[in-house]
Amino acid sequence: MSPFRNEKEEPLLPSSSPSQSARKTRFTFRVAVLLAITLFVTARYLPSCIHSHFSGSLEVEDGVLEAQCPQPDTLVPSKNADLWNELVKGDYKTKVFLDRAVEWLGGAVRVPTESFDKMGDIGVDPRWEAFGPFHDYLLSAYPQVHATLSLTKVNTYGLVYEWKGTDESLKPLLLAAHEDVVPVNPDTVSEWEHPPFSGFFDGEKIWGRGSSDDKSGLIGILSAAETLIEKGFKPTRSIVLAFGFDEEASGLFGASQLAVHLLATYGENTFAFLVDEGGDYMNEFGQTYATPGIAEKGYLDVRVEVESPGGHSSVPPPHTSIGILSALLVHYESNPYTPRLNRGTPMYLKAQCLASHAPELPSPLRTALIKSTKSDKALREAETYLFSDKFFKSLVGTTQAIDLIQGGVKTNALPESAWGVVNHRIATDSSLSEVKEHDTNLLFDLAQKFNLSYTAFGENLSDDSKAYYGKLTLSDAWGAGLSPAPITPTGLGDDAKPFQLLAGTIKATYDLHRGGDDDKGVVVSPGIMSGNTDTRYYWKLTPHIFRYNHHFTGDTGFFKTVHTVNEYIEADAFIEMIQFFTTLILNTDESTVV
């Protein structure tokens, strides 16, 4: 029965009586009034609602947005204002200084300093000797630095410079970089537009291996120091420079020993903050973002090894060790880690900065991020949007990649063993133990299926009374597993003063070099490094570690040319890096809050 009909299916408003006509008239009047009110409200508010929900406007809930990604003020030197103006607004903008800077970096590139995996000890492996000529180059290129700063060589090729300040009560500033570069594949030399160690300058770009990663950082720091000394600057706060020489090979000989020296010399938590290579700044969703890395993922290479009886291949078993290993590795790839975007993690903070300041961010994503601070449902909605970007997703979760495999020695001999290595980059809110437990559980059933005894990370998970066909072993491939790095404080609280100083410096450098009347400035957002830097060894020196070198990359990102053919840096971007390090040194020197 229809709810709009009476039991006899008669009209609710028949027109047969005067009283009914009056009621109908009153009803019509009320409808007209309601319609008028509706039209007024629609005309008044609908356009702004449409604009807010479909254009990506930042006008809605500005206070909420700002609170989710607060921005410190631009910071320029005051005590050293005249010196800063003379250098960054004067000398650094001249053709004379451009030529000088280009030659500084080009000369560094022309000294090959390749580091390789699994190098032998210093003094034994001759490949280390490449760093001697590089030290000679630095000595000739930066005479004032070497005449003013004390230099200690650690493990022969590690460099620690100390620029002594006049006030020893102030915590020093620590600036880091690395001398080495990834090797150039000889088979790709012909693909380079300019030879990989030419340091060629074409009028716009400086070409060559290390021009971007990371000789630009090292040379940028030394160039800033050299020019400051030439102008008579004497620091109040000590400044320490630490340059490793095998960062591209995990820093086992370089930064690891530099850390021992720095801890022995200065002690734990004795530096105001540390800046090493890392995040750049680029355009995202209509806004320029600088992303200092405030954390790094953990790292674990899991060796998966299968052992089984050998024999002649003419009488094969159902599964050889290679076949079993293949099944195990396929099972890995069929069961990837499930990433989760969690509140408080660096990439969640980055997402909040996108919601707060990016005018072209899709409106549904912005709305979900605003609500995600309190709503789990909204957090999962935001996660779904963000994880459509493969790079963002990989930075959030624990990843796995099968990078090495080996097995067998001859075509007519059954392989007695086969192994593969699964590389993990561990999410900032996970741990080494969690990854080991996950991988152990992942392969447990398959170990039973193939009748293999099972040892995982030193723990025997087998029944010793049972006879097994073969053996499965999981282990830390190189014994170099690394926990996720401590997260550096950010925001506007007292514990984040170093972040505020760095962010203010980034803003000042950007505004000076790239800002304009129609420019929206730069937003400083927390981020993480996709790999691990030398800072993995420096956690005890300070809780304030930033991976950032103020490298402008436009819309392309840092990874376009590093570690591959045709590596380069724009000369204009390199000048800006020198401006950044100069401003950072001066701002930190006169700071009373770090």
pLDDT digits (tens, 9 = 90+) for 48-98: 332 333 233 454 444 456 678 999 999 999 999 999 999 999 999 999 999
Collect all residues with Cβ–Cβ distance below 8 Å to 403 and sequence separation of at least 6. Answer: 421, 422, 423
Predicted confidence band of residue 515 (pLDDT cuts 50, 70, 90): confident
Nearest Cα to Cα of residue 223 among 91, 326, 133, 340: 91
Annotated catalytic residues are 180, 247
**So what's the architecture of 81-296+547-589 in CATH?**
3-Layer(aba) Sandwich (3.40)
Predicted confidence band of residue 519 (pLDDT cuts 50, 70, 90): confident
Instruction: Tell me which amino acid residue 61 is.
Output: E
What is the per-residue pLDDT for 279?
Answer: 86
What is the per-residue pLDDT for 64?
Answer: 54
In degrees, to the nearest 5, what angle opens at C-alpha 223 toward C-alphas 530 and 88?
Answer: 95
Residue 463 burial (CB count, 10 A): 10
What is the per-residue pLDDT for 436?
Answer: 98
Paired tokens of 47: 């356009």
pLDDT digits (tens, 9 = 90+) for 504-513: 999 999 999 9
Predicted confidence band of residue 520 (pLDDT cuts 50, 70, 90): confident
Q: What 8-state DSSP symbol labels residue 17?
A: S
Q: What is d(CA 233, CA 231) in angstroms, rounded to the nearest whole number?
A: 6
Nearest Cα to Cα of residue 571 among 78, 203, 33, 214: 203
Q: Can you tell me the mean pLDDT for 480-503?
A: 96
Say yes or no to pLDDT of 586 above 80: yes
Q: What is d(CA 588, CA 593) in angstroms, rounded to the nearest whole number?
A: 9
* Whether the Cβ atoms of residue 176 and residue 261 lie closer than 8 Å to each other: no
Q: Report the range of poorest mean pLDDT among 198-202, 271-275, 276-280.
A: 276-280
Contacts 24+ apart (CB under 8 A), 383-390: 383/340, 383/341, 386/341, 386/351, 387/339, 387/341
Predicted confidence band of residue 141 (pLDDT cuts 50, 70, 90): very high
Say yes or no to pLDDT of 171 above 50: yes
* Whether the Cβ atoms of residue 583 and residue 77 lie closer than 8 Å to each other: yes
pTM: predicted TM-score of the whole model, two decimal places: 0.87
User: How confident is the prediction for the chain on average, in pLDDT?
Assistant: 89
What is the per-residue pLDDT for 41?
Answer: 37
Percent residues over pLDDT 90 in the chain: 83
Say yes or no to pLDDT of 22 above 50: no
Collect all residues with Cβ–Cβ distance below 8 Å to 547 and sequence separation of at least 6. Answer: 275, 276, 277, 278, 279, 292, 293, 296, 529, 533, 535
Predicted confidence band of residue 254 (pLDDT cuts 50, 70, 90): very high
What is the per-residue pLDDT for 559?
Answer: 52
Q: What is d(CA 215, CA 213) in angstroms, rounded to the nearest whole number?
A: 6
Residues of the chain with CATH 3.40.630.10: 81-296+547-589
What is the per-residue pLDDT for 554?
Answer: 59
What is the per-residue pLDDT for 560?
Answer: 63
- Which whole-number Å values give the CA distances from 96 to 99, 209, 230, 510, in the listed order? 5, 25, 15, 22
Q: What residue spans of 309-397 are helical by DSSP H?
A: 321-334, 346-357, 363-371, 376-386, 390-396
Number of H-type helices and E-type strands within the chain: 16, 18
pLDDT digits (tens, 9 = 90+) for 383-426: 999 999 999 999 999 999 999 999 999 999 999 999 999 999 99
What is the per-residue pLDDT for 46?
Answer: 33
* Whether the Cβ atoms of residue 281 and residue 289 lie closer than 8 Å to each other: yes
Residue 392 burial (CB count, 10 A): 18
Say yes or no to pLDDT of 132 above 50: yes
Q: Can you tell me the mean pLDDT for 141-169?
A: 98
